[in-house]
Amino acid sequence: MADRGKDTRVSFLRRDGPTARRPAVHSLGIFIQWPGSRVSNATASDRDVTYQKHCPGCFVNKSGLAVCPQCGYDESAPRTPLYLPHGVVIGGQYRVGKVLGQPGGFGITYIAWDVHLQQRVAIKEYLPRSLAKRADQGEGVVLLAAEHEAAFKDGLEQFLNEARVIARFDHPNIVRVRNFFRANDTAYLVMDYYEGVSLGDYLASLDGGRVPPDVAAQLLAPVLDGLQFVHDRGIVHRDVKPHNIYLAQGGRTILLDFGAARAAADGEGPGAVLLSEGYAPLEQYQRGSPLGPWTDLYSVAATLYRMVIGAPPPAALDRVGQDSIAKPLGFDAGFERVLRKGLALAVADRYRSAYDMRADLFAALDLLDEHSPRLGATGIFAVSSEPVTRPINEPDTAPAPDTAPPTGPAMTKAAASENPRVLGPATPAGLTAAWIIAGAIVFGAALIAAVLWLRLAP
């Protein structure tokens, strides 16, 4: 593996020590301190153990030290045998590093190094812990019991089928799947890797674990854009929650982890029901129950609840009969109506469109957004029927607009009314020129008629 050198360390700046990182500010003006701490490398046991030359946490050359002086990752820390070992190469191309976030119920995500393209990627391994485990010898995956074989194979095929679908998507707020392959008696998804922090980790770092409703709305707006895009193409994510929403450096909010995705309206197969309590609606508890956009929008509303309350809502099953969410929560009535509609237990009472939910959310908070949904000349949300995305061949960096969008909390309608670029009376293109030409024609005709009348008059 090539030594990447200092020029690759673009994400961090040295300040007062070898592992000090620069705090970053998301596009909304919220302050994020990326995880990391300073640790000494001088331990006696290090002299008796051989460590990776390149850090499994960031893949910068650390010269075989146990603790990386760049990111602070400690390679000597205990590692559960459920995880793939540091440095193992899978798919003939990807060197495995540390585990990213908390392993989910059906898979583990690692940072990895693409030895061919010489860049970091994220790799999701299909490993449902209720059905399988790591083999005692080697990197393979084995079943916990023979009767789990059908469920494991069904989940594995679904994992790969949805990877094929998601790999064709190209949207700035959806994680991009680069590759997928079988190995170790399971399957892997290779995705873009982003520097940043999950929404769940960010909220956990705050006092009280919550943010104001307007900040929550702006953070979730790109997620709703991404969901509308996949819903329009017949895919349901099925596992939207704070830890699957990523606040990337540069201001992008990205929806991660489509490993649980299924085609819309499909129920569960013979496999186990996979869900995240508090964020899953009733239909996800029932095998064979139709799933659709309404399923993901319940999860978005549950995430919104978590962001403004500081804790997830009660599990859907616990709300049946006595629903604590029906009581006032202390917010504006319009905002609470949006929240309750998104969290409705009955599918018929819930949002069916991510765009509708987004429009209602911004309207309830008296916020305006210049991008998506797009504003009409009257300032009313003119929701386009086309998904907000970019062409597959368009570069990641779009040309800068004439005036940069607000980077703080969303503008209110009152503030936007003072900004003619946002809400000013729009003049259709060419309208002024058309009136000038029409006036000239009328004036010319009147002049000719007057001349003819003077000549022909007796």
Q: Which residues are catalytic?
A: 239
Instruction: Give the phi and the psi of residue 382 in degrees, each rounded to 5.
Output: -100, 90
User: What is the C-alpha to C-alpha distance for residues 421 and 78, in angstroms, rounded to an integer?
Assistant: 57
Position 315, amino acid: A
Query: By three-state DSSP, how is residue 329 classified?
Result: coil
Question: What single DSSP character describes residue 415?
Answer: H
Strands 374-375 and 141-143 come out as unpaired
User: What is the C-alpha to C-alpha distance for residues 313 and 440, in angstroms, rounded to an integer?
Assistant: 67
The residues pairing with 119 across neighbouring beta strands, listed in sequence order, are 114
Q: Could you give the C-alpha distances from 96 to 123, 256, 304, 386, 419, in angstroms and in order?
A: 8, 19, 34, 39, 51
> CA-based Rg of the chain, rounded to a whole angstrom?
27
Residues 6+ positions from 244 with CB-CB distance below 8 Å: 198, 255, 256, 257
Position 67, amino acid: V
User: What is the C-alpha to C-alpha distance for residues 149 and 156, in angstroms, rounded to an integer?
Assistant: 10
Per the CB < 8 A criterion, the answer to whether 108 and 124 are in contact is yes
Q: Report the residue count for the chain.
A: 458
Query: Which pair of tokens denotes residue 315?
Result: 């599990």
User: What is the C-alpha to C-alpha distance for residues 82 and 315, in angstroms, rounded to an integer?
Assistant: 28
Q: Could you give the C-alpha distances from 26 to 215, 436, 458, in angstroms and in order?
A: 11, 48, 83
Residue 402: name the closest of 426, 430, 388, 421 by CA.
421
The residues pairing with 235 across neighbouring beta strands, listed in sequence order, are 263
Other beta carbons within 10 angstroms of residue 29's beta carbon come to 12
Position 189, amino acid: L
Per the CB < 8 A criterion, the answer to whether 3 and 61 are in contact is yes
Residue 213: name the closest of 301, 328, 310, 335 by CA.
335
Query: Which pair of tokens denotes residue 264?
Result: 């819309």
Residue with tokens 């307007």: 214
